[in-house]
Amino acid sequence: MENAPHFTAYPLFRLTLWMATGIFLFNTLTVDWLTWEPVALTFGATVLILFCLYRGSGYNRRFLFGVVGGVAFALLGGTRVLMEHERVYFTWDGKKQLYCGVIETVPEVRGKTLQAEVRLSSVRSVEDTLPPRMLHHSILLYWVSDSLAAPLCCGDSVCFYGQVSRPSFKEAGFDYAVYLERKGISGTAVAFSGHWKRLPGNRRLTLRQHAAVMQRKISEVYRSWGLRGEELAVVSALTVGDKRELTPGLKATYNAAGASHVLALSGLHVGILAGMLMGLFYPFTRFRSGRQIVSFAVVALLWAFAFIAGLSPSVVRAVTMFSLYVLASLLTEGHFSGMPSLVFAAFLMLLYQPFYLFDVSFQLSFVAVASILCFYPLISAYCPFQHSGLRYVWNILALSFVAQLGTLPFVLYYFGTFPSYFLLANLFVSPLAVCILGSALASFLLAPVPLVGKWAVCVLQFSAEALNTSMAWVKGLSGSQLTSLHVSGFQALLLCVELLMVYAYGLYHKRYCLIGMLLLADIFILSLFF
């Protein structure tokens, strides 16, 4: 199958695997005495050895060259994860003290308190006459509203009296402190009413903070259009990634239907929006250099979309991948596949933030896209229908199936559930998601036109209501969600290798691939009884 990617042929794929391995090993085997400096020096020495091998043998010793190069990238991953750990980890003294810092995120309601990330700048004891000690760590601050104090907003300077500590919550293998550390948060604190105060001064917002504020403003625009309840929740989540309005019941409905991915901005939404923009600007491709201009215009608009979506990691990943794909396609006259851009995006994001490797959404997003790139060409080639409408339905089902197939080991390992009717659900999700994104875009563009803008909002509201109704119907079907399907890490690994063997057999049709598939299936079945 010539359209299916031979991803192992890409050198960057192998090097990214080496770097991910280094991140995993150094994060797992981290000891207190190990710092990033000696690992970085070892990385530099390995690069020097690699250079000498290349100059001395002219790349003739391919195996040795590949092993040394792989070790170098593993050390690079180890260096980055140790640097990040050293930056975030901090041992708090457990005393109540006076802390000052800046609100980094838009405050969110958490029960009877408000919550936001705070970048601490200083700390001192109330009784201490010494100057305050400087800090450079982010914490998660919970505070009780105070009617006598000015409310806190993103970018405000705040001073509070409280105790900062690393959370000690551990349950069923989940370590809350490690979870926060991987998000760059060093500890948590609670400030009661009267124990915090907004400091005077102008707010200085970073680019990410401006994006978070813009995200909330877009949601308020939806509210001003008359969207309420579950319709507002779905539209806000699907278009700008604002999940504040999502209720536990609504999340459970989408999870049971196998459509929870539509509520989390990802490559699906970026792909839909990119297709819309390409279609909108298609007439301009007929002009000289029109293809290049349209491509860059679409990329620019997608980054604008990422900005109003709060620059969430999932959207940034998807837009980065699309941008790399467009750039490489233009440079190579269109002879470019999506796998190199996917791998390069993963490489850049892991290099920037190695803890992304342990983020479930990061894993699911990349695995889903990789599964589509690998398996979709194999399945779509066997479409038995000639009618365009039936081929469209087949392609939707094929995309949904291969994405679910690739993420199956991860879903079973992390959640232990499986939606029985995910194919049926995605027959509704795909066209309605297009309608919601399209009508939302049309509503903003046509808002100055009274009647037309109002009709666009009506279409937006109707599409959201139809999506919620269809997901509730799928959830209500008998046996809509299979539960208690948890697998161990070893079993999940077996399933991943099994999928690789299935892909290899579909690509090469070799006997040893079939034997490997059957052998792995036997091992997996035996593992269920031991």
Q: Are strands 133-134 and 138-143 parallel, antiparallel or unpaired?
A: unpaired
Q: pTM (2 decimals)?
A: 0.84
Compute the average pLDDT of residues 330-350. Answer: 75
Look at residue 116 and tell me whether its pLDDT is greater than 90.
yes
- For residues 112 and 333, which has the higher predicted lDDT (pLDDT)? 112
pLDDT, position 2: 47
| 48-51-56-62 Cα dihedral, nearest 10 degrees | 120
Judge contact between 298 and 281, C-beta under 8 A: yes
| 382-387-388-393 Cα dihedral, nearest 10 degrees | -60
pLDDT, position 187: 93
Look at residue 59 and tell me whether its pLDDT is greater than 60.
no
Give CA separation, 484 vs 370, 392, 393, 414, 462, in Å: 27, 34, 31, 11, 36
Poorest-confidence range of 208-212, 284-288, 474-478?
A: 284-288
Segment 71-101, tens digit of pLDDT: 999 999 999 999 999 899 888 988 899 999 9
Per-residue pLDDT band for 5 (boundaries 50, 70, 90) equals low
Number of helices (H) and strands (E), helices first, in the chain?
Answer: 17, 12
pLDDT, position 182: 87
Look at residue 380 and tell me whether its pLDDT is greater than 90.
no
Percentage above 70 pLDDT, the chain: 94
Per-residue pLDDT band for 155 (boundaries 50, 70, 90) equals confident
Q: Tell which CATH architecture fits domain 96-204.
A: Beta Barrel (2.40)
Look at residue 271 and tell me whether its pLDDT is greater than 50.
yes
Look at residue 28 and tell me whether its pLDDT is greater than 50.
yes
Nearest Cα to Cα of residue 178 among 188, 166, 189: 166
